[in-house]
Amino acid sequence: MKKKMTMQDIADMSGVTKSTVSRYFNGGYVKDETREKIKSIIEKYNYEPNAFAQSLKAKQSRIIGVIAPCLDSTVTSRTMMAIDDYLRKENYMSLVINTDHDEKLELKYMESLWRMNVDGIILIATQVSEAHCALVKKMDLPVVFVGQKFKDGISILYDDYHAGIKVGELAAEKGHRDIVYIGVMESDQAVGVERKNGILDGLKHKGVTKIELLHADFSFDVAYEKVKKLLMKRIPDMIIAATDRLAFGAYKAIQEKGLRIPEDISLVGFGGYEISSLLTPKLTTIRYDSDTAGYIAAETMSKLLKEEPVPKVQIVGYELLQGDSIKEM
Reported as a single tens digit per residue, the pLDDT across 38-78 is 888 888 888 776 544 444 455 577 899 999 998 887 888 89
Q: Tell me the pLDDT band of 83, cut-offs 50, 70 and 90.
A: very high
What CATH number was assigned to the domain covering residues 160-288?
A: 3.40.50.2300
Closest to 80 measured CA to CA, from 92, 97, 60, 105: 97
| Predicted confidence (pLDDT) at residue 161 exceeds the cutoff of 50 | yes
Spell out the alpha helix ranges (H) of 68-205. 74-89, 103-115, 130-138, 160-173, 196-205
**High-pLDDT (> 70) share of the chain, %:** 95
- β-pairing verdict for 238-241 and 178-183: parallel
Please, what is the average pLDDT of the chain?
Answer: 90
**High-pLDDT (> 90) share of the chain, %:** 66
Average pLDDT over residues 150-160: 93
User: In whole angstroms, how large is the CA radius of gyration of the chain?
Assistant: 24
DSSP 318: E
More reliable by pLDDT, 131 or 53 = 131
Q: Tell me the pLDDT band of 4, cut-offs 50, 70 and 90.
A: low
DSSP 282: P
Distance CA 317, CA 123 (A): 19
Q: Most distant CA pair in the chain: distance in Å?
A: 83
What CATH number was assigned to the domain covering residues 7-55?
A: 1.10.260.40
Average pLDDT over residues 286-307: 94
- The reported pLDDT for the residue numbered 296 is 97
Distance CA 78, CA 284 (A): 20
Apex CA 318: angle with CA 178 and CA 226, to 5°?
35
Closest to 91 measured CA to CA, from 303, 302, 310: 302
- The reported pLDDT for the residue numbered 52 is 41
Closest to 95 measured CA to CA, from 76, 122, 124, 132: 122
Return the percent helix, strand and coil in the chain, to nearest 5. Answer: 45, 20, 35
For 63-158+290-317, the fitting CATH number among 3.40.50.2000, 1.20.140.160, 3.40.640.10, 3.40.50.2300 is 3.40.50.2300
Directed axis angle between helix 244-256 and helix 220-233, to 10°? 40
- The reported pLDDT for the residue numbered 44 is 84
Distance CA 276, CA 308 (A): 40
- The reported pLDDT for the residue numbered 19 is 77
Average pLDDT over residues 218-237: 96
Distance CA 153, CA 311 (A): 10
More reliable by pLDDT, 95 or 44 = 95
Distance CA 177, CA 175 (A): 6
More reliable by pLDDT, 122 or 278 = 122
In tens, the pLDDT along 256-294 reads 999 999 999 999 999 988 787 778 899 999 999 999 999
- Domains of the chain: which residue ranges? 7-55, 63-158+290-317, 160-288
Closest to 176 measured CA to CA, from 262, 242, 243, 253: 262
Distance CA 127, CA 76 (A): 15
More reliable by pLDDT, 238 or 127 = 238
100 dihedral zone (left: phi>0; alpha: psi -120 to 50; beta): left
Same fold, 7-55 and 63-158+290-317: no
